[in-house]
Amino acid sequence: MKRQRLVAFTAVAALLVFASSVAFAGGAAEDEVQIDPECRTIRFVEVNWMDIEATTATTRLVLEALGYETTSEVVSVPIAYQALESGDADVFLGNWMPSMATISDAYIEERGTVDSVQTNLEGAKYTLAVPRYVYEAGVQDFADLIDYKDEFDGRIYGIEAGNDGNELIQDMIDDDAFGLSEFELVESSEAGMLGEVNSFTRNEEWIVFLGWAPHPMNAEFEIEYLSGGDDYFGPDYGAATVHTNVRAGYTDECVNVGRFLENLRFTVEMENEIMSAMDAGADARDAGHDWLLENPEILEVWLDGVMALDGTDGLSAVRSTLGL
């Protein structure tokens, strides 16, 4: 009788241990998805550039399909890094390198208050550009600009104040690089600058401005990029990579979101297609959704090992929510 009771007790104990281990495993999975309550809401910062608007909107769309809440605030580049450092923001998808190193290195390399998670885009470029008719007239290098100062009215058109590209232009002016001390920087915004490009090119007037790819400007206007700016914009016509940055420690706190951000990569072709739809009038979120409908296979890469907020399979949840 004692032996039967002992066997029964042992069996019950084993069942309790098994049940506890299952419950613990379920709890661990849940904890991994939402390590602390702040992980439920992901706070983005973005700059007012069409490419970053496109990637941020598409990324937020997927995260919301996983069950997260997201917010985004449009700010200047310096304010974006201040927000990450202070903990007022979590994610920035627009760290263009090497041009932005003049701003971001202080936070990433020096103070360690911002982490660089992953390269999310390769094959980009960022440097000075001119209309093709200006290029064919003899302005093909940074050193050629001074010879045509009067034609350019001594102006180089940039985008919003505080932008890294503007800073590089101002550095060239301050250094009198290529004789540019005789030029002035015109600061505006992406839309404002491209409005000027549109106005100048309609009349085949001369303009030199910040250009980059991916961007619809490369299809909308016939433009050429200038050589010779390696010391400021980097080699190969300002060849650039774009990186995902987060506030320091974020991917350790929010492991599931961190895994998604590590997987997140875009292509020049993808961004061009989304931005072309935006340029035609589509909302960035709708343009991103339409692109995912046509290219759902990318989600297998982005969501590898990623769970929905409720602990279910992330890929299945996103496909179901977005109707893919």
pLDDT for 272-282, tens place per residue? 999 999 999 99
Strand partners, 213: 125
107-131 pLDDT tens trace: 999 999 999 999 999 999 999 999 9
Mean pLDDT of 14-19: 38
- CATH class belonging to 35-124+240-322: alpha beta
Mean pLDDT of 73-86: 97
What is the reported pLDDT for 162?
86
Query: Are domains 35-124+240-322 and 125-238 of this chain identical in fold?
Result: yes
What is the reported pLDDT for 35?
42
Distance, C-alpha 270 to centroid of its chain: 13
172-181 b/e with 16+ CB inside 10 Å = b? bbeeebbebe
Task: Give the three-state DSSP class for 217.
Answer: helix
What is the reported pLDDT for 324?
87
Mean pLDDT of all residues belonging to the chain: 89
Residue that wins the pLDDT comparison between 21 and 188? 188
The residues spanned by each domain of the chain are 35-124+240-322, 125-238
Provide the pLDDT confidence category of residue 36 given band limits of 50, 70 and 90.
low
Q: Is the pLDDT of residue 24 over 50?
A: no
Which residues, including other chains, have CB under 8 Å from residue 297's CB and lie 6 or more apart? Answer: none
Mean pLDDT of 61-79: 96
- Of 28-37, 243-252, 260-269, least confident by mean pLDDT is 28-37
- CATH class belonging to 125-238: alpha beta
Q: Would you state the structure tokens that stand for residue 57, as one six-digit string?
A: 């909107």
Sign of CA dihedral 72, 77, 78, 82: positive
Sign of CA dihedral 180, 78, 236, 213: negative
- Output DSSP code: residue 100: T
Q: Is the pLDDT of residue 29 over 60?
A: no
Q: Is the pLDDT of residue 179 over 70?
A: yes
Per-residue DSSP letters for 48-95? S-HHHHHHHHHHHHHHHHTT-EEEEEE--HHHHHHHHHHTS--EEEEE
282-319 pLDDT tens trace: 999 999 999 999 999 999 999 999 999 999 999 999 99
What is the reported pLDDT for 7?
39
What distance in Å separates the CA atoms of residue 297 and residue 152, rounded to the nearest whole number?
47
Q: Is the pLDDT of residue 12 over 50?
A: no
What distance in Å separates the CA atoms of residue 68 and residue 63, rounded to the nearest whole number?
6
Q: With contact defined as beta carbons under 8 Å apart, do 124 and 212 qualify?
A: yes
Q: Is the pLDDT of residue 4 over 60?
A: no
Q: With contact defined as beta carbons under 8 Å apart, do 170 and 266 qualify?
A: no
Residue with tokens 């990029």: 225
